[in-house]
Amino acid sequence: MRTPDPDPNERDDDGTPRDPLGASFGAGGRPLGEGGFGSPTPDAAANPGWLTDVELAEARRRLPMLYVEALPVRTDGIGTVTEVGILLRATPLGAMTRTLVSGRVRYGETVRDALFRHVENDLGPMAFPMLPPQPAPFTVAEYFPIPGVSPFHDDRQHAVSLAFVVPVTGTCEPRQDALEVTWLKPEEAASDALSAEMEGGRGTLVRLALASVGALR
C-alpha cells in the first residue's frame, strides 16, 4: 500500500501480502522498522492495543502517510546525469503505467533505511545505489485524495513524499511482479508523452528531479 503503487492487493508495501509484525528497534541502535501495523499477529496477543486491518485503514484516512520516492539515475564519470530510470508496471486491469521507486516509511524506521529498502525492493539487490549523504529531499511531493489540491494525486490516501535522486551503479533487476526499468535520456523523461503515462502526477516529479540535477531544459 504505497503511493506509487495503486494496486495494494497486488503488491504490498513489504512485498508480502501483509506485514506480519510490529516495528521493533534492532540491535546497534538502528531501527529495523520491520512490518508496520495492522494485521493480527502473534504479537497482537501480547499487545492488546494492536490495530486491526480495519483500524489501520481508518487511521490512514485520518493521518498523512509518510513516503519516500526515488528517481534512479545513471551518471557519467564526473556526476552528470545521463539517463533516468522509470518503472513500468502492469496494473491489475492489464494497463501499463509508469512510476518511480517509492514506498512508505515504517514506524521506527529511518528515512534513509526506508529509501534504501524501497530502492532495493524495486531495483533488485544488484543495483548498488549511492544514496545521497544529504537528509534533505530535493522536493516534498504531497499527494491528496482529491485531485487539484496539488500536482500529485492518490485516491487512496493523503501521502507526503520525500523525493530523492539516487545514482545507481549496478544492474537493475526489478522483482517478479511485472516491474521493469526503462532507461531514458533526460529529455525523453521530461517529455509530455512520458508525463501523460505516469501515475498520480509523477511526470511533474520527474521534471522537478531533473531540474534539481540541472538536466531539464
Applying the rule CB under 8 A, the residues between 15 and 74 that interact with its own copies are: 22-23, 25, 29-31, 36-38, 49-51, 54-59, 61-66, 73
Q: Is 217 in the site for its own copies (CB under 8 A)?
A: yes
Q: Which residues of 124-155 are buried (b: 16+ CB within 10 A; e: fewer)?
A: beebebeebeeeebbbebbbbeeeeeebbbbe
Cell of 37: 501495523
Instruction: Give the number of C-alpha atoms closer than 13 A to the C-alpha of residue 110, restricted to the C-beta side.
Output: 8
Q: Is 183 in the site for its own copies (CB under 8 A)?
A: no
- Closest separation in Å from C-beta 178 to its own copies: 27
Q: Which is nearer to its own copies, 95 or 149 (CB)?
A: 149
Q: Is 211 in the site for its own copies (CB under 8 A)?
A: yes
- Closest separation in Å from C-beta 162 to its own copies: 6
- Closest separation in Å from C-beta 14 to its own copies: 14
Q: Which of 149, 170, 175, 185 binds its own copies (CB under 8 A)?
A: 149
- Closest separation in Å from C-beta 215 to its own copies: 8
- Please report, as a single letter, which amino acid is at residue 60: R
Cell of 198: 505516469
- Closest separation in Å from C-beta 210 to its own copies: 8
Q: Which of 43, 44, 167, 191 binds its own copies (CB under 8 A)?
A: 167
- Please report, as a single letter, which amino acid is at residue 114: A
Strand 139-144 to 159-167 pairing = antiparallel
Beta-carbon contacts of 199 under 8 Å, excluding residues fewer than 6 positions away, are 4, 6, 97, 98, 99
Q: Which is nearer to its own copies, 57 or 90 (CB)?
A: 57
Residues 125-144 that bind its own copies (CB under 8 A): 130-140, 142, 144
- Closest separation in Å from C-beta 179 to its own copies: 22
User: Are 166 and 71 in contact, with CB atoms under 8 Å apart?
Assistant: yes
Cα angle: 143, vertex 156, 148; to 5 degrees:
40
- Please report, as a single letter, which amino acid is at residue 159: A
Q: Which 8-state DSSP code applies to residue 25?
A: B
Give the total of residues touching its own copies (CB under 8 A). 75
Q: Which of 108, 124, 174, 200 binds its own copies (CB under 8 A)?
A: 108
- Please report, as a single letter, which amino acid is at residue 100: L
- Closest separation in Å from C-beta 12 to its own copies: 16
